[in-house]
Every structure is written in structure tokens, then in C-alpha cells.
Structure 1
Amino acid sequence: MRSVDDHLAEILATVRTLAPLEVELERSLGTTLAEDVKTPVELPPFDNSAMDGYAVRAADVERAGPDTPVTLPVVEDVAAGDGALYAVGPGLAARIMTGAPMPAGADAVVPVEWTDAGRTSVTISRSAPEGHAIRRAGEDVREGDVVLRAGTLIGAAQLGILAGVGRRRALVRPRPRVVVLSTGAELVEPGLPLGSGQIWDSNSYTLTAAVRESGAEGFRAGVVPDDAAAFLDQLDAQLVRADAVITSGGVSMGAYEPVKEALTPLGTVRFERVAMQPGMPQGFGVVGDDQVPIFALPGNPVSSFVSFMLFVRPALRKMQGLTPDTAMSTVRATTTTGLRSPRGKRSFLRATLGRGPDGGAVVTPVQRQGSHQLAALAAANALVVIPEDVTELPEGVTVDVMPL
């Protein structure tokens, strides 16, 4: 059998990072920046008020207090977005709003809460030192500073700074388009009645959701019967919109394995046994003129999900221009019960990760570990990783755990 690490290494050596393209800002969320972005101006571009209040000269209010208030004439109203030029002379004040440019001569802002909120004159009961409540030009970034580096995943805050430096479009690596196919004559669409020997298809829904949770675009193409020709027809139809394809089922050693039967003659997809539990039968390769990666995952629900987390998710990260999380983020936790694992296979036991009485991380395997037991997977929030050479672990030992 092939090791988990070797199988993943081949996958990451095969998949390619998607070529960059320029998109409108609204479409950049969830993509990966493919360029360094510099600001053409300082941010903020001018000194402005951080609060609603009164722009003053600090020297004029330095003696202000509850028992010694200072009253100043209000000579101007300065609103945010006001492009006029204003000035505040000695002994005067200007009413100012948050974000409004500071008038010439003023070097402090007195918050409205420290005043009587007067319009023609204002009584100030607390002093404000020079620079108080003023956002200085360039205190965030200077002109020409790099605000985002290539390789940054664009979330809400990153999209905000792109807009903040005046960008309308951005050069990005797009989210991979991933088509998900389930195979099996026994599969029925959820919501339809079950016939004898039939089950509802859950894999395509699980895997499409996992694709989307990984930052890619998932397209569920539905169920394909146990027929190699029908599978190839559906695959050909889907390749026009796919950067990657995921199949589930049809990869084992028995009869009626349409994925294996259809793809093996192509010579570009390999089917192997990987030393892991669950998920031993695996297929991977490329198909079509564009050499689209295809992940042929086993059909048992837990097996296909664990396989996705171990192999597909890191590949999708590489396609997005992100660092593949080859080890999957793991934490250390103490077992609350003894564990068993078959020799020669790396086991991924479904478990719940939590905190013990002392606040330390503890992990408890779920009761049902069968590769078909989807309800147990849904109740789990982590996978306990047991190495290939370990067959038994007692309660109270520290193990590696992959949070889901």
C-alpha cells in the first residue's frame, strides 16, 4: 500500500496554481491576490477629526475644567466631505464632525460630550491637549506603501483596504471551480421515495459543501449510475466548467466500479490502495485536453469526507495560490479512553475535542467508527490521528488531533 504522505505529495506535484485574472472588486472576495498593492495616496489623505466636537487651539482650552469652563465663539461648521478651506484663529472654535478636515490653525478637537453643544458659542468644561482626537494624514499608510502582498486571501477587511486605496479592480487567482459527481445505482436524490435496496445520496452534498468551505466554487452534478459509458459522458459534459473534478464511489476492487473502469484505460489516472483508515481505495490523475485534476474518492460517506480533508483540500489551496496545509492543522490533546488502530495504516478516528476539568484539551472518540456511519461523523468535531506503527493507545496519552 502507498503511504498517505506519498499520495498527497503526488497530488501536490500535479495540480497547478490557477492563472491570475483581473476582476471587479465585488467579485474578489475569497480569491487570492496575485499582485502587490500599493497605495497612491496617504491614508488618511488629510488631518481629520476622530470625533464630533469642536476644533480649537489647545492653548485656548488648557485651563478649562468643571469649575473653570472656557467659552469660545463658534465661527464655522465643518462637515465630513466639505471641501472648503477653513481656519480657526486664537480664541475661536469651529464645530466639526467626525471625518471632517481640520481647519487651519486648530490643533485639537474637544469632544461634544465635554461641552454644552452650543452653536454660536460653546462652553468647554475640560481641556484637550494638542493633537487630541485628530487623525493625522498618513498615520495609517504612507504614499507608495504596500498595503497587501501577493498571496493574500481576500476577505472583508482586505477587500476594504483595496477600496480604501482607490482600486476598482484587482489581479487575483480565482476560486477553483470544482464539479462533484456521485456514482451508484443505489443512490436516490434526497426528497424522493426510496425503492428496495436504495439510499439517499449524501456524498455529493457533503463534498460540494466541503469544497465551498475550502474557498472554492462547488458544483454538484448529481448522481451517475453504475455505467462506465454514462460516467464518461457526464464527465465530458462537466469538464468545460471544471478546474477540478471529485467523484465518490466506483473505485474499489469489486464489480460495478464505473469510475475505475472508465478512467483506467485513459492511462492518466492511477488507482491505488493508500495505507489509511478510513479511505483506503483512492484514485487520482488528470483528464481532458486541459489536464484537469480528478480526485476519485471512495464511496463510503466517512471515507470520502476524510479523503477530501487529507488530499483535496490541500490541492485546492495550492490551486488558489495559498500554501498547502499538507499536515492539516493539528493540536495536541489527551485521550479520555483507550484507542485501537490496525497495524500498517494511519487511522483517523472521529472524535469530539473539548476541555477537561483542568482546562487542558481532551479528545473522546465517538462510539461508531464505521466508514458508512455519517451520523457519527456529523457528531464529531475532530479526527484523532494514529500513526501506522501504533495499534493501541491507553487512556490519558497525548495524541495529534485534527480539528474539523
Structure 2
Amino acid sequence: MSSAAPRTAGQDHLWSVDEHLEDILATVRPLDPIELQLLDAQGCVLVEDVTVPVSLPPFDNSSMDGYAVRVADVAGASEEFPAVLEVVGDVAAGQAELLQVGPGQAARIMTGAPLPPGAETVVPVEWTDGGLGEGPVTGMRARSLAPAGADGHVQVYRPAEARAHVRAKGSDVKAGDRALEAGTVLGPPQIALLAAIGRGTVRVRPRPRVVVLSTGSELVQPDEELASGQIYDSNSFALTACARDAGAIAYRVGAVADDAETLRSTIEDQLVRADLMVTTGGVSVGAYDVVKEALSHVGDEDEAGSGIDFRKLAMQPGKPQGFGSIGPDHTPLLALPGNPVSSYVSFELFVRPAIRTLMGLDDVHRPTTRATLTADQALTSPKGRRQFMRGTYADGKVTPVGGAGSHLVAALAHADALIVVPENVESVEPGTEVEVVLLR
């Protein structure tokens, strides 16, 4: 994987949200294509059109259990005057050698079995006596035919049109058709189609491997006892889940204490399995902001073009951000703030588009819409910053959830949208139409 170098600016430069995102997307490059087995390619993006090598279905086959017959032999058939046909044998799914159906004859046929030569249509078993001579088959008896291979006759009580209950060769896709086009994301239905046309492998851009780690000596793993001054590490879990939701293969690293050398060593150890690294915490101006301390000069020792640029963005939450590349392969690294809401919003705005760019997708952003603000009072926003507030969206309306605090995890859990307040707007009255980023 190759990537361009990120832009740098003076420490006092206040980056806009758009500038920061543009720099990320201009730097990150889609992963190189590889050939994968079908199930390993689930969630990946095709890099080439797939052409159908053989028609699907590859032969005319029955859509019902019943009897393969000639149309003329059942014309006018009724319960009072059934057509009586000689049963010449069975046709099962997967059978290679087929019977010949002549005038006055019928062949038992199973669902999916090829239509035998001479037959023109299929009569469902429910329209017959099942070869038992007991009248039309109904209820539980509709599930069975006369014993396989038994000689005898079948009575047919209804006529059938030509090719009734017959799946025509190529009725799904024909040889030479384009089954899937480049850029398709392979989900279960696409995997099924590829397998059905005989493709065991496919050329795709692989799902990116994303390593997520959080920093902070105060962080404790869930299920452990909290000591005074400690909190549970939620960010690494949230962002790992976000990365998987975006389509990545995500690895969560346990929280790293506030020690620059330990953090740098941990990041270097993780590079072997990372197409993208995400850190959370330690990017502000505090005395223990170890991410900045550990990575600010990483480019001095690595190859030219590496290094992390720490920035201030004109946004709330999420003002402090870091972005650049690290290691010999120039692996992209996004350093997010440590407050839970700040890290989550930053992921949605910056990391998710980076992951989907690595995947080779054309549309990398969450969908946006316009909605009417429903609230008890006006929303306020700091001048010069683009604010992203949590909300719930339904039927063209959006309602704020929780306050503006970047620590309010509970409110975040109930939100399914972000309300966007532009940089030049300081107050939004209820009933105003606003931009909304949809998160579900």
C-alpha cells in the first residue's frame, strides 16, 4: 500500500473540518487487489466485472415434484376423464442419463431434475393420483409419489400448458452476461451468485485491517475492579466496533499507560497487522498527552514522508486531531481525542471515510439529509466552530439527545444522527431546517 504525504501547516493554523477530511482522503490510497476464496471475500469490493461462464440454470429443469409429459397426452384431462399414462421411470436431480418420454408416457420427475427428451411440460403430483390409482393426491399424500422405479400407470386429472412448471435454461442469467460489475460489495446474495456460476475465487480489494488502541493510565478493562480515579476503557471498544461496522477487520489493543516509550513500542509492534492505525486520547495540550510526545517526531527516524501532524480543528466536539503515517510502509495513523463523544464523532467524520477509501468504495461518507429541528429551546453553538450534536431522526424531524458535553456516553447510545450546526451559526431555533448526518 502506498500513500501520499499529509499536508502540514503552522501550529497556530486552525483547520476546518473539510480541510482535514480532504487531506486524509488525498493521502489514503485503496489497498492493492488480491484473489480471495469466496467466503474470505465477503464484505470486499470487486475490482473487475464478472462474466457468466455458463447459463443459470444450465438446463431446463422442473420446479415441482410431478410427472414430465407431452402436452397432447394431457389435453382435456379431468377428474371424470383422467389421462392415463405409462410411467417409464424416474428423473432425479443430478441424473446424467435421461429417459425418453414418448406418446402416452410419463416420467416421474423431482424438483431441480432436468426435463427429459420428449417431455414438454410438468404436471405437479397434486394433479395426479401419484401413480397409486387412488384419485387426486391431496394433503400429506401430496408429498409422495409411487415407489421409485415401480412400473405402472399414472392418472392425470388436469391439462398442462407447454413448459408449465419448467425453469428454462438461462432464465436466471445467460452465458456471456455480466453477473456483477466492478465496485460491487460482496454480500451473501453476491457470494451465492458467484458460487452458482462456478466461481471459487474472485479478485477484490481486501477489507482493511484496522488497529485501535486507547491511551491513559486511568483506564481499566471492563470486569476489573475500579480504584479511585479510574474509569473503564470504553473508547477502544467503541472504535473497534465502529471499524467493523465500516467494513474493516478490526483489532483492539488494550489501553496503554501514559508512557511515551511504551506507546511507541506498542504501535511499532502492531504495524505488522495494520493497514490503518487509530489511537484515542493524548492529543491535547496536557502534560500527559503521550500520543503527541511519542509520535510528533517519528518522521525523523523513519523514511522520508512519515510523521504525524497534530492539529486544531474548527469543530466541536473533537478540536484536537492528529493525522499522518508511520513506519516503513507509511501506514496511515489517525489520532483522535480521548473524550468518548469526541472520539466517536471524529471516527464517523474522518476514520470511517478513510476505511472505506482503503476498501476502494466510491461513496465513503455517511448519508446526509435535511430535517426540521424539534426541541424545547434553541440550540447554541460556539462562533467559528462547526458543531455536531447527537440526535434522533424520524419522518423528516430531528430531536437533540443529551447535552453538548463530550463525555455523555449514555446520550450517544440513544442517538442515530448528528445535527450539524455550521461555523457561522451561533443559535438554531426550533422549527429550523438543519443538516443531519444519518448514523444507522
Aligned pair 1:279/2:318, yes or no?
yes
Moved more, 25-34 or 192-201: 25-34
> Structure 2 residue aligned with 1:98, among 111, 118, 131?
111
Moved more, 129-138 or 380-389: 380-389
Superposed, 1:1-400 pairs within 5 Å as 1-118=14-131, 119=146, 120-267=152-299, 268-326=307-365, 328-337=366-375, 338-354=378-394, 360-400=395-435
Q: Aligned to 1:246, what secondary structure does the other structure show?
A: strand
Moved more, 10-19 or 343-352: 343-352
Return closer, same or farther for 1:298/1:134 CA change in 2, 3 Å cut-off: same
Moved more, 342-351 or 198-207: 342-351
Question: What is residue 402 of structure 1 aligned with on the other side?
Answer: 437
Partners in 1 of 2:220 and 2:262 — Cα distance? 17
Moved more, 302-311 or 70-79: 70-79
Q: Aligned to 1:270, what secondary structure does the other structure show?
A: strand
Partners in 2 of 1:33 and 1:263 — Cα distance? 35
RMSD: 1.6
Partners in 2 of 1:332 and 1:113 — Cα distance? 56
Return closer, same or farther for 1:76/1:375 CA change in 2, 3 Å cut-off: same
Partners in 1 of 2:66 and 2:405 — Cα distance? 66
Partners in 2 of 1:54 and 1:31 — Cα distance? 44
Contact kept in structure 2, 1:71 and 1:124, CA below 8 Å: yes
Partners in 2 of 1:114 and 1:391 — Cα distance? 75
CA displacement at 1:107 relative to structure 2: 1.5
**What amino acid sits opposite 2:418 in the alignment?**
L
Identity %: 56
Contact kept in structure 1, 2:325 and 2:333, CA below 8 Å: yes
Contact kept in structure 1, 2:37 and 2:201, CA below 8 Å: yes
Contact kept in structure 2, 1:47 and 1:136, CA below 8 Å: yes
CA displacement at 1:335 relative to structure 2: 1.9
Partners in 1 of 2:25 and 2:371 — Cα distance? 29
CA displacement at 1:67 relative to structure 2: 4.8
Q: Aligned to 2:258, what secondary structure does the other structure show?
A: coil
Paired residues in the alignment total 398
Q: Aligned to 2:15, what secondary structure does the other structure show?
A: coil
CA displacement at 1:68 relative to structure 2: 4.4
Contact kept in structure 1, 2:277 and 2:332, CA below 8 Å: yes
**What amino acid sits opposite 1:106 in the alignment?**
A
Cα displacement string for residues 91-138 of structure 1 (whole angstroms, at most 9, x for unaligned residues): 221111111000111121122222222233322233221121111111
Partners in 1 of 2:67 and 2:382 — Cα distance? 74
**What amino acid sits opposite 1:329 in the alignment?**
P
Cα displacement string for residues 274-299 of structure 1 (whole angstroms, at most 9, x for unaligned residues): 12211111111110000000010000
Moved more, 305-314 or 143-152: 143-152
Partners in 1 of 2:122 and 2:371 — Cα distance? 52
Partners in 2 of 1:81 and 1:369 — Cα distance? 65
CA displacement at 1:224 relative to structure 2: 1.1
Contact kept in structure 2, 1:49 and 1:99, CA below 8 Å: yes
Moved more, 45-54 or 380-389: 380-389
Which ranges in structure 1 are unaligned for 5 or more consecutive residues? 355-359
Q: Aligned to 1:220, what secondary structure does the other structure show?
A: strand
> Structure 2 length normalisation: TM-score?
0.87
Return closer, same or farther for 1:397/1:121 CA change in 2, 3 Å cut-off: farther
Which ranges in structure 2 are unaligned for 5 or more consecutive residues? 1-13, 132-145, 147-151, 300-306
Q: Aligned to 2:393, what secondary structure does the other structure show?
A: strand
> Structure 1 length normalisation: TM-score?
0.94
Q: Aligned to 2:161, what secondary structure does the other structure show?
A: coil
CA displacement at 1:50 relative to structure 2: 1.3
Partners in 2 of 1:49 and 1:236 — Cα distance? 60
Contact kept in structure 2, 1:32 and 1:174, CA below 8 Å: yes
Contact kept in structure 2, 1:73 and 1:91, CA below 8 Å: yes
Partners in 2 of 1:284 and 1:342 — Cα distance? 25
Partners in 1 of 2:398 and 2:83 — Cα distance? 64
Cα displacement string for residues 362-387 of structure 1 (whole angstroms, at most 9, x for unaligned residues): 22111333111111101112211222
